[in-house]
Structure 1
Amino acid sequence: MSSRSYTGRHYAGRHRVQQRRARLPRALSSGFVLPTAAAGALVVTAAGATMAESAPQSFDLTGRQTAMVRTQEAADEQAASDIATRRQDANIEAAAFQGRAEEKARAARAARREARARAAAEAEAERLAKKWVRPVDVWNVTSGFGYRWGRLHAGIDLAAATGTPLHAMSKGTVLSAGYTSGFGYKVEILYWDGSTSWYGHMSRIDVVAGQEVLPGDQVGLVGNTGHSFGPHLHLQMQSAPEDGTPIDPVPWLQDHGLW
């Protein structure tokens, strides 16, 4: 026979015995699709055995286990809360510390500014206290320093109207203030540089012994008391309060810019 089907079944002139293969059920062939429910419930092994697919197992916690879980969760929440509280407290404390440090720095700067301002004010006050002013604003010299009528006229006479204010010439201390027979109402002032002035023939005294005076402070009024021939200020300058040696007031006034 010459057909391909016949030729294919013979080899070397002999009949080949065809072996029968085990055929799989149609349900397990590649072209067959099981229903969804059946596919999920049935598994067939190569040997034809079947077994049911195991369903997921659920584990139920006991009451004690649940309580332990909840206790642990509560502890975790409390720990987190404590950490947050401590962090907040630390931030507050850090802010407070920084605030105190800044306040201390501001106070220190303010103290330094105040100290500088106070020192400047004191220096200015001292400068003003040590300036020199005229004992009377307007005068007319009627008698100079020197001998007259056989006696030393130890000062100069500055004529001015009775009641004209008399001023301390600079910062100083009143050594004496009162009435004497020759000078009438008289005031002695020791100044900061050691100079001493005598004001004589005053009509009124406005200071007391031991009083501190500053430039321009009123110490009394021009008058005509004591041995005087008219209202005037008898201005006498002493080299030192201890010995009482008089000096010519004119050069002294010139040296202090008051003449």
Structure 2
Amino acid sequence: MAFTRPAGKHRGPSRMSRKSAGIAGVATLATTGVIGTLAAPAFAADSDSEAKPAEPGLSAEDTGVIEALGSERMADTVADQAVVQRKAADEATARALAQAEARAKAAREAKERAAREAERKLLNTYRLPVAGSHVSTAYQANSSLWSSGTHTGVDFRAPAGTSVVSVGAGTVVEAGWGGAYGYNVVIKMRDGSYTQYGHLSSISVSVGRQVMPGERIGLAGSTGNSTGPHLHFEVRTDAEYGSDISPIAYLRSHGVKI
């Protein structure tokens, strides 16, 4: 016997049918008082298909404004920091310049002090009128060669043409012919005394010239009342003849070794 099927379609009920049936069932249960235990799950399942309300919060437009404000504040902060840094750099540069100027000023002042000290020492320095020479005729030696009967200075050995220098700093008050002294130079020293250099063959300074210790004033010779080339060196307390003092003692009192 052939296998036969009942007439009609054999499909499961649709979702709408199931839902309608479910609602009808719930209505039935409601009359029995059982709905309290089943309603929540049934409606919870259906609520999944419905749109959920937007969660509380900021819109995209609000978020953009906040981000812009935040960026602006950050830019202001960076600008403020840059201003502070520039100010600090400027202050550091100013301090460095001030320190450099102070060091330069101190160096200049130290250099000037050193120069003044060197000049002071130089002005107070004395030396022999003829370098490396020695006394050939002593002070106050007796002889008929001198009008006073005694030697008013000392003679230093000095071949013709030997350089003659000022023994110290002073001003030339006489430069030319000096009678028995021949060509001579007289210098007023800084301490008020006078030094005389006689029998020169030539003169290299003029009256009023400021001379320094060791500066050449002429060349040794044998002019005037002289028996041969040498330097007559004389020291006086004033410009007048007869105020002579010991040239050797004078030089030694100024630190010259002789």
Q: Is the 8 Å Cα contact of residues 132 and 258 (structure 1) preserved in structure 2?
A: no
Instruction: State the secondary structure of the residue aligned to 1:233.
Output: strand
Q: Which amino acid in 1 is paired with 2:89?
A: A
Say whether residues 1:129 and 2:123 are aligned partners: yes
| Residue 164 of structure 2: aligned partner | 166
Q: Which amino acid in 2 is paired with 1:120?
A: A
TM-score by length of 2: 0.70
Q: Which amino acid in 1 is paired with 2:52?
A: A
Q: Is the 8 Å Cα contact of residues 199 and 234 (structure 1) preserved in structure 2?
A: yes
1:28 corresponds to which of 22, 38, 63: 38
Q: Which amino acid in 2 is paired with 1:155?
A: G
| Residue 197 of structure 1: aligned partner | 195
Shift of residue 216 of structure 1? Answer: 1.6
Equivalent-residue separation in structure 2 for 1:189 and 1:125 (angstroms): 19
Say whether residues 1:98 and 2:92 are aligned partners: yes
Runs (5+) with no aligned partner, structure 2? 1-30
Equivalent-residue separation in structure 2 for 1:95 and 1:229 (angstroms): 82
Shift of residue 145 of structure 1? Answer: 2.5
Instruction: State the secondary structure of the residue aligned to 1:128.
Output: helix
Runs (5+) with no aligned partner, structure 1? 1-20, 42-52
Instruction: State the secondary structure of the residue aligned to 1:151.
Output: coil
Shift of residue 144 of structure 1? Answer: 3.5
> Where does 1:15-164 land on structure 2 (aligned, <5 Å)?
22-25=32-35, 28=38, 37-38=45-46, 40=48, 55-57=52-54, 74=68, 77-136=71-130, 137-142=132-137, 144-145=139-140, 148-149=143-144, 151-152=147-148, 153-164=151-162
Greater helix fraction, Structure 1 or Structure 2: 2
TM-score by length of 1: 0.69
Query: RMSD between aligned alpha carbons?
Result: 3.7
Identical columns (%): 29
| Residue 16 of structure 2: aligned partner | none
Say whether residues 1:217 and 2:225 are aligned partners: no
Shift of residue 226 of structure 1? Answer: 2.0
| Residue 181 of structure 2: aligned partner | 183
Q: Which amino acid in 1 is paired with 2:180?
A: G
* Residues paired across the two proteins, number: 222
| Residue 45 of structure 1: aligned partner | none
